[in-house]
Amino acid sequence: MNTPRAQTFVVTGLGAVSAWGWSRADLWRGLLSGRTAIGPLDRFPAEEQRTRLAAQAPEPPAGLAAGISDWNALSQAERFAVVAALEAVRQAGLPPTPHSPDAEAALPPHRTGVFFGGSTAGMFETEETIRALLAGESGTPITPLTSQPLDNPTGAVARRLGAAGPVVTVSSACASGTQAVGLALDALRAGEVDVAVAGGADSLCRLTYAGFNALRVVDADACRPFREGRQGMSLGEGAGVLIIESLERALARGATILGTCLGVGNSCDAHHMTAPRADGLGAALATERALEDAGVTAAEVAFLNAHGTGTPLNDASEWRGFARALGPRAAEIPLTATKASVGHLLGASGALEAVASLLCLDGRVIHPTPGDGTVDPETPAHLVRGDALAIEQPGVAVSTSFGFGGANAAAVFGPAREVAGVGRAAVGEEVA
């Protein structure tokens, strides 16, 4: 056992937008269904591409937009971010405005930080505008171009919550969301914030859709991580948000503890701009560093929420990384891959998969990985398939994220029931 941290940081709120819907309840139902939300893409034309599928967020439910004053001025990614953040702060029992009459319960503006990951921000809206400019359409408004800076979803959340503490956006490709959780944890440990809003948001756009097609790393059908004969990834969109604070603060204000945020590790392959190291060294380093940061050992890992894109190279590299970091136990630890259900959310994937991992810990079941076929003998994972798998032994969840340029990150989350007698009491209690 590594040296435990002096202070425990807990998760008290979760929010999610995904192809399953605009709430964490939608996400959890979808994940437990064992089906995939990956389906036909209609956001923009894709006729000439290898695939025409994506996990596209549905239209928002009636009334949702009306509750957000500047909805029409927000990009898709900003909408995902704001909706998920508002859901998370509501669950945490923190009024989403600093002007709440109940000042004790409100988010403390100076002590609230927002840490977000993302990779495209308003690219979809930018593309529409540039298309119009290239077509010479007169009177094309340029305002949508202002949605492009990658910090816009973060800023939209901070403004909505009245946060005045550190606001930091990280854009390290597909590792961004997990790195954002790490930055939040660092800020909490350093005493710079009392409440951290950590997450990520990304929307589908032509640039990433065409780009991954050009790299020939997409599957024509829905992705099938760790399956034999897998062909590649499927893109998705949405947001995931966690509210993290100290155990002491959460207990003092009577918040419900959903889980713990124990540690994050980073590494870089330093190898290639798009391909992972075949030997999995980078993935192993990130996983080992996360476990060390969390103060836990491989023996304490209850399940893995793998990056699991479904590309032949990524899954193989990731598996070798797990084998290096976790030893012989790697093949025994149940493994799930959220992307098979909601697609690859790119810069937001780590954040949404953190939400999924915490929902699993809270619900004491591991959601299944949709897809047909046998497990690839080259990646002999204990893949959770078919039905959700009950978590029999207490332990932690490890969630991994690996991005272009070899940016790797892993996060470790623990169950609430291991935090000094607090948290949810009933096994299988409805979490949403």
Partner 1 sequence: MSRTAVITGLGTVGPAGAGREALWQALEDGAARTTELGPLGPLAGGTNDRSPWLTLRPEVRWAGVVDPACLGSWLGAREARRMSRPSRFAVAAARMALEDAHDPSAGADGGWSVDSDDLGVILSTTFGPTAVTEELLEQILLAGPETASPFLFAESVANAPAAQVARLIGARGANLTVTQRDAGPLIAVRKAVAEIRTGRSERMFAGAVDEATAFLQALLDRLGVAARGSGGAPPVARPFDRARNGTVLAEGATVLLIEEERAARARGGPILGRIIAGGEAFDPTADRCRWGTGHALLGRALADILSRAGLAPSDIDLVVSGASGSREGDRMEALTLRTAWTAAGSGSLLPPVLAPRAVLGELGGGHLAAAVALLGAVPEGRTLARPAGFQDADPDLGVEPFGGPLPTGGEGPFRILVQTVSAGGPASWLVLETPEVAA
Catalytic residues: 174, 307, 344
Contact 259, 92 (CB under 8 A): no
In the window 228-267, what residues touch partner 1 (CB under 8 A)?
266-267
- Provide the 3-class DSSP secondary structure of residue 253: coil
The whole-angstrom separation of Cα 79 and Cα 167 is 18
The answer to whether the beta carbons of residues 43 and 204 sit under 8 Å apart is yes
Residue 406 binds to partner 1 (criterion: CB under 8 A): yes
CB neighbour burial string for 18-43, b if at least 16 within 10 angstroms, e if fewer: bbbbbbbbbbbebbbebebbbeebeb
336-365 residues in contact with partner 1 (CB under 8 A) are: none
* Cβ–Cβ < 8 Å for 181, 261: yes
In order of 36, 57, 76, 111, the CA distances from 184 in angstroms are: 31, 26, 24, 12
Query: What is the closest distance, in whole angstroms, from the C-beta atom of residue 65 to partner 1 in the complex?
Result: 18
Yes or no: say if 209 and 53 are a contact pair by the CB < 8 Å rule. no
Nearer Cβ to partner 1 (187/302): 187
Structure tokens, 211? 């780009």
Q: Which of 183, 223, 257, 340 binds partner 1 (CB under 8 A)?
A: 183
Q: Under the criterion CB under 8 A, does residue 279 sit at the interface with partner 1?
A: no
The amino acid at residue 253 is R
For the segment 146-165, give every residue that binds partner 1 (CB under 8 A). Answer: 146-152, 154-156, 158-159, 161-165
Q: Which is nearer to partner 1, 29 or 110 (CB)?
A: 110
Q: Which of residues 12-41 bind partner 1 (CB under 8 A)?
A: none
DSSP designation for 348: G
CA distance 315 to 318: 5
CB-wise, 176 or 336, nearer to partner 1? 176
Closest distance between partner 1 and the C-beta of residue 421, in Å?
A: 30
State the SS3 of 51-103.
CCEEECCCCCCCCCHHHCCCHHHCCHHHHHHHHHHHHHHHHCCCCCCCCCCCC
274 lies in the site for partner 1, by CB under 8 A: yes
Q: Is there binding between residue 190 and partner 1 (CB under 8 A)?
A: yes
Kindly tell me which of 156 and 397 has the beta carbon lying closer to partner 1: 156
Q: How many of the chain's residues bind partner 1 (CB under 8 A)?
A: 77
Q: Is 172 in the site for partner 1 (CB under 8 A)?
A: yes
In the bound complex, what is the minimum distance in angstroms from residue 420's beta carbon to partner 1?
25
Contact flag: residue 425 with partner 1 (CB under 8 A): no
- Please give the Cα distance from 287 to 280 (Å, whole number): 11
Residues, the chain? 432
β-pair type (167-170, 195-202): unpaired
2 in contact with partner 1 (CB under 8 A): no
Decide: is 171 part of the binding site for partner 1 (CB under 8 A): yes
Distance in angstroms (rounded) separating the CA atoms of residues 343 and 129:
26
- Enter the tokens of residue 425: 């009491």
Using CB under 8 A as the binding rule, whether residue 420 contacts partner 1 is answered as no
Interface pattern 287-306 for partner 1 (x via CB under 8 A): --x---x-------------
According to the binding rule CB under 8 A, does residue 65 interact with partner 1? no
CB of 299 to partner 1, least distance (A): 23
Binding of residue 375 to partner 1 (CB under 8 A): no
CA distances from 279 to 239, 269, 333, 384 (A): 31, 10, 20, 24
CB 406 within 8 A of CB 272: yes
The correct pick among 49, 100, 256, 297 for binding partner 1 (CB under 8 A) is 49
Cβ proximity to partner 1: between 158 and 396 the closer is 158
Q: Which amino acid is at 391?
A: I
Confirm or reject binding of residue 270 to partner 1 (CB under 8 A): yes
How far is residue 249 from each of residues 194, 255, 365, measured CA to CA in Å?
A: 8, 9, 28
From the CB of 68, what's the least distance to partner 1, in Å?
Answer: 15
Q: Give the shortest CB-285-to-partner 1 separation in angstroms.
A: 6
313 near partner 1 (CB under 8 A): no
- Least distance CB 169 / partner 1 (angstroms): 5
198-217 residues near partner 1, rule: CB under 8 A: 206-207, 209-215
Shortest spacing between CB 271 and partner 1, in angstroms:
6
Tell me which of 42, 272, 372, 427 binds partner 1, using CB under 8 A: 272
Site for partner 1 in 78-137 (CB under 8 A): 109-110, 113-114, 119, 126-127, 130-131, 133-134, 136
Q: Considering beta carbons, is residue 74 or 356 the nearer one to partner 1?
A: 74
